[in-house]
Chains A and B, each alone.
Chain A
Amino acid sequence: MPLVEVENVCRTYRMGRADVPVLRGVSMTVDKGECVAVLGASGSGKSTLLHLIGGLDRPDRPDRARMKIPKTPAIRFGGSDITAYSTRKLDEYRGRDVGFVFQFYHLLPELTILENVLLGAMILHGPGFVAQAGQHRARAEELLTAFGLGHRLKHRPSQLSGGERQRTAIARSLINQPALLLADEPTGNLDEQTGAKILDAMMELRARTSQTMIVVTHDPHTAERADRIVRLKDGLVIPA
């Protein structure tokens, strides 16, 4: 059974008075341990698809007659349809099962990189974090060290380069050992050389841990590093 199943997902945004359909019935699957690249031009809906899979947004519930789509949309993770989750359950899903890496890193500037990495564990475990603070801290340090940042634990994001910030963001996404890693243009804000290093780090991680990944990108070279490419155009998957 695939880890992730996306069926017939639509998403429309309201821009002023107009409805702009971004996804128009996307279906795809991702197997456990697989690295899938979602490739498309800007505006093709790839980030939107990632947000839906990650539980940051919810798909439309289309009018069947109007949309002429026979099936009800669904996004299944480990067999459970996350579109039926309550808000609280979606929060838990994002905290426990999913790790996000964004194009612009999105590190909290007031926290050190160690604190940024620990943030996910604090959120997931709540008051229980205190009882196992030592373990979480050790894991955070291990992750940062694995990404070459073991000597910068007390530094703030403003004191790091772009590549170092993105590596911190990757470490943060892995603190709770999520089953699924979602990366939205992870090299989009980096120069070619640094971007290549980031990709190397991610692929090396995947080789070591069989991490399931979905990487959204507009760059074919980045996409080629994945096991499989899903191409999006105008809100639809282009058949292979």
Chain B
Amino acid sequence: MYQFLLTRKYLTSKLMPLLASVAVLLCTAMVLVIWSVMGGFLDMLVRSGRTMTGDVIIAWPNAGFGHYEDLIQRLEADELVDAAAPVIESFALIGLPDGRQETVMLRGVDGPSYARVTAYKDIVWWKKLDRPLPKDKDLLDPRNRDLKGLKWDTLYAQGLSLTANDPATGLPMAAVVPGIEVSGFNDRTAQGFYNPVLVNKRLPNGEYETVDLFMPARGTITINTIPLDSRGTAVETVSRVLPVANEFMSGLFDLDNRLVLVRLDMAQEMLKLQKSDKVIDDPTTPDGYKVVGENPARVTHVLIRGKGDLGKFGAAIPLKRRVESIYEQFAEAHRGEVPGVVPIIILTWEDQNRTMIGAVRKETALVLSLFSLVSLVAVILVLTIFWAMISDKTRDIGIMRALGAGRAGIAWVWLMYGLAIGTVGTSLGVATAWVIVTNINPIHEWMGDAMGLTIWSPEVYYFVTIPNQVDPTHAAVVAIAGVLSCFVGAFIPAVRAANMRPVDALRFE
């Protein structure tokens, strides 16, 4: 009982132990901020790893493989598979309205099936918002306003189908959906939305004109691809000028900055992967060859979404095994025409991102370990301060022994005091960490604006926003560890106080 009284009195009347609380606060906040950001980064990586690729991917890059419709049919008939989508991937060179050339990853997709396998429907950017972004208090996001001459629903539908109207004829044609950072014509705001900017558009006569270019409404992109023949030799450059149907924002800077989506059939045509005649040389014919069959259209990838939540590490492995089995049967059915099960590449989302995920995991563990070691300073600080306090309180300890307090009771005065310092420090530390983490993006942007500091560069850290959620489990672990650390720090001084002889304590000068 008297321990509570003395703890309360010491806590509110002594400055140095309050400084110990501040140290505990800072250590707690530091560890929790690190864990939240690094842990959140890992979570974002895991989530985004599946956003644009599904759970399992079958890949045969460059050359591609045919009969993919049959493969998709077999996959979607399986109980573990939710949906599958054909995809073509290749490098491309694009020309932008201001004359710049950029190297991009071109991905040809079938809009509807791609949306079933990935989160494509959610990441198409230019659409009417159901509600404004949380930080957009003044409703400045263009998506909150009506467009001149265009409807948001139309733009959204264009984005999903990767189709837009030909500016010349007004007829629907294949279009592109680039990542929102590809063109450089969108300015990202602190509130998280984009504003189209004025663009210096290059005119045919070589001069430039400053225009208000909203890409989905008026923009076009020139795509240049280099298809390869069966020997891997470049055939010819293929160029197309395509209207921009919409733009996407996945949250992964790497994709938003260098991925351009086109319709699957357009990609097949540009890369010479469409259905074609199978020919053999025949000098007896006027053209020198004879058509002996048909080469099926090809794709380089098939993306697969499994049923249920396969976001946890290792959860997609059973699906991968099933896909391997299905592919083996598919390859047997089309022996000689498609790659066998051994050379074909079949990966889970985790496999694809293994290097990055592993690196982030190790980095998180290392940083946490280092900062936890630094937090030992709180233990040493509590120990030092309590040791000094006990010297100062020796006579008080003597009088409490004279009043009948036992050794355990005296020890508990200091242990309880250590627990109190730990509880106060960790509670404030968790609260501080929560404030910092939930506001970390505005803080980071302010640092960039006010001090020119960009600690979290999207190019390096792969995401546009810094993770800003505090996991309650992490907070509880850090808080408990902080309180226990103070308890440990108070232990030795508590034992010292308990073992003091009453008569010596009373005589202490």
Contact = CB atoms under 8 A, between A and B. Distances in A.
Contacts of B501: 57
B492 to A, nearest CB: 21
A115 B396 CA distance: 14
Contacts, number: 74
Interface stretch (A24-32, A125-133, A192-200): A125-133
A91 B405 contact: yes
Contacts of B409: 123
B401 interface: yes
Q: By CB atoms of chain B within 10 A, which of A92, A95, A130 has the most?
A: A95
A119 B405 CA distance: 10
Contacts of A87: 406-407
Interface stretch (B5-13, B189-197, B428-436, B465-473): B5-13
Contacts of B398: 106
A115 B502 contact: no
Nearest to B14: A110
A122 B404 contact: no
B127 to A, nearest CB: 64
A51 B401 CA distance: 12
| Size bin of chain A's contact surface | 20 to 34
B10 A94 contact: no
A176 to B, nearest CB: 8
A interface, over-half SS: helix
B400 interface: yes
B429 to A, nearest CB: 26
Nearest to A169: B399
B interface, over-half SS: helix
B407 A95 contact: no
A51 B2 contact: no
Q: By CB atoms of chain A within 10 A, which of B10, B400, B402, B403 has the most?
A: B403
A110 B9 contact: yes
Interface string A19-54: 000000000000000000000000000000001001
Contact of A94 (B5, B13, B404): B404
Interface in A147-192: 172
Q: By CB atoms of chain B within 10 A, which of A87, A106, A123, A127 has the most?
A: A123
B295 to A, nearest CB: 88
A238 interface: no
Interface in B486-500: none
B396 A124 contact: no
B5 to A, nearest CB: 7
